[in-house]
Amino acid sequence: MPPLSTQPYKGTRDFFPADMRFREAMFAVMHRVVRKYGFDEIDAPIVEPIDIYLAKTSEEIVGQQIYAFVDRGERRVAIRPEMTPTVARMVAARFHETPKPIRWYSIPNVWRYEQPGKGRLREHWQLNCDIFGAASERLADLEILNLAVDLLKGYGATHTHFRVYVSHRGILNGVLGDELKLPQEKWPAVARIMDKKAKLKNDAYTAMLDAEGVTPAQQKELDLFLSEKIDYLKQKPQIEGASYIIEMLESVADLGLADFIEYDPSVVRGFDYYTGLVFEVFDAHPENRRSLFGGGRYNNLVGAFGKETLNAVGFGMGDVTLEVFLRTHKLLGDQPRNVDLYIALMDDALGGHALALANKLRARGLSVEVSLGAGKLGKQFQEAEKKGIARVVIVGENEAASGVYAVKTLATGEQVALKAEEI
C-alpha cells in the first residue's frame, strides 16, 4: 500500500500555526467591529436537513454545489453551504422570547462543491451579520451598509481600496417587467447577462440577449438603464425602489459614506432570496477587481418555518476573498508568535525549577516556553530564535539558588539580572 497523501481534500486548507495566527487576527477585527454594533454571536450544527435549502437557496447551490447525503436514520441531510437559512430557523425557534430587533452574527464553516480558484474554495469561513424585525427597514438597511463599510475600515482600508454598489430588487423587477415588458420567467437569465456585461465583448453581450428574446428596442432601454444610472431613476420615479435608492444615497452622504457607497443598476443577487436592498462590495485594486462580499434584504425566509415572519437584512463575507483583499492591499500580513519568554536550562536536572518559575510567570500573564532538554545553551538560544521568542531566561545552579536570573534579549545580546518578580 503506497503512503497516504499529505495533501488536504481538494478545495480545503490545512491551517498551520502561521495560518492560524493570520486567521485569528482577521477574525479578531470581525468580532471587535460587529460587537460595537450590538450584535450577539451565535453558532449552529454544520449538518442541516436538506429541506431548509430546497426552499430558498439558489438552484445552482442546491443542484450542483451542495454536499448532501442520507444518514443512517434515512434522513436527507446536507453540510451547510451557507448560514442564512440556519439563522432564519433559529429566529423562528425563539421567535417570541427574543427581543426585537434581533442582531445576530456568526463565523461558521461552510461547504460548497465547486471548482476551486483564486478567492474560491470548497470549504471556507464566512462572517454573517443579520438584523431581524426592525421597525424601520430603511434604518436597518443603513445600519447594515454602515457595518459593511466599517468592517473593512477596521483593517485600515479606505475608499481607495473598495467600493460598495447598491441597488434594489424592485428596480430590477420594474425595469425588466414594466419597462421592457419581459415575461417573468426571463428575468433571471437576463439579469445574469447584465451581471456579466462588464466581462463580455459587445457582440457576445448582444447575442446572449438576442438568444433570450430581448428585442433591439428592449436592449436600447436596458442600455439606458445601465448607463444613465441614478439619472434614469430620477426620470422614472414610478419604478418600485427608485425613490428608496435616491433617498438612501442622501442618507449615506449624511453619514459621511458617499466616498464608499454608490448606486449601480447592474447589481444582481439571488431572485429566490432578496426582496429589497441588494449590495456588492468590490475590491478596487487593478489586480483583484472582484466581488468581496454582498447581501441585502430578504423578508420572506423566516416565514418558511412557521406562520409568523420577520423582515430581515444581512450579508455574508467569506474569509478566502477577504484574505486575498487584505494581502493584496498589505492591510494585514503574517502575524508574529506571541510568546514572551523562553526558559533555557544549564542542566536538565534543573527542569523542575524551570517549570515552577514558568508557572509563576504565567500566573502574572506572561506566555512562557520552557526548554524540554534541548542540549547546549547555544542550541537552546537557536531554538528560541527560530520560534520568534525575543527573550531568554537562563536557569543554572547559581540562578536556582539565588533566585536571580539572567535575562537575555536575543536581537541585541543585552543581558540583565532580575529576580523572578522583576521579570
Distance (Å, whole) CA 36 – CA 154:
11
Q: Tell me, which fold does domain 26-161+284-328 have in CATH?
A: BirA Bifunctional Protein; domain 2 (3.30.930)
pLDDT in tens, 250-260: 999 999 999 99
Q: Among 41-45, 202-206, 248-252, which is the least confidently predicted range?
A: 202-206
Per-residue model confidence (pLDDT) at position 325: 96
For residue 86, pLDDT over 60 is answered with yes
* Average pLDDT of span 137-147: 97
Cα three-residue angle 356-360-361, rounded to 5 degrees? 115
Across 86-90, 136-140, 209-213, the highest mean pLDDT is recorded for 136-140
pLDDT in tens, 46-63: 999 998 888 666 666 776
Per-residue model confidence (pLDDT) at position 344: 97
Q: Which three cell numbers stand for residue 60?
A: 445552482
Q: Among 144-153, 173-182, 325-334, 350-359, which is the least confidently predicted range?
A: 173-182
Per-residue model confidence (pLDDT) at position 55: 66
CB 157 within 8 A of CB 266: no
Distance (Å, whole) CA 343 – CA 212:
72
Q: Which three cell numbers stand for residue 367?
A: 506566555
pLDDT in tens, 326-372: 999 999 999 999 999 999 999 999 999 999 999 999 999 999 999 99
Q: How many CA atoms lie within 13 A of 166 on its CB side?
A: 29
Per-residue model confidence (pLDDT) at position 161: 97
Q: Do domains 26-161+284-328 and 341-422 have the same CATH topology?
A: no
Per-residue model confidence (pLDDT) at position 393: 97
pLDDT in tens, 127-139: 999 999 999 999 9
Q: Residue 115: what are its φ and ψ, rounded to 5°? A: -75, 120
CB 17 within 8 A of CB 25: no
Q: Model pTM?
A: 0.90
Per-residue model confidence (pLDDT) at position 272: 63
How many percent of the chain have pLDDT more than 90? 74
CB 251 within 8 A of CB 35: no
Question: Hey, where are the domains in the chain?
Answer: 26-161+284-328, 341-422
Residue whose grid cell is 504565567:
362
CA distances from 277 to 84, 142, 209, 406, 419 (A): 16, 10, 25, 63, 63
Out of 3.30.56.10, 3.40.50.800, 3.40.50.150, 3.40.50.1000, select the CATH number for domain 341-422: 3.40.50.800
For residue 271, pLDDT over 60 is answered with no
Residue whose grid cell is 420594474:
174
Q: Mean pLDDT in the chain?
A: 92
* Average pLDDT of span 183-203: 85
How many percent of the chain have pLDDT more than 70? 97
* Average pLDDT of span 134-149: 97
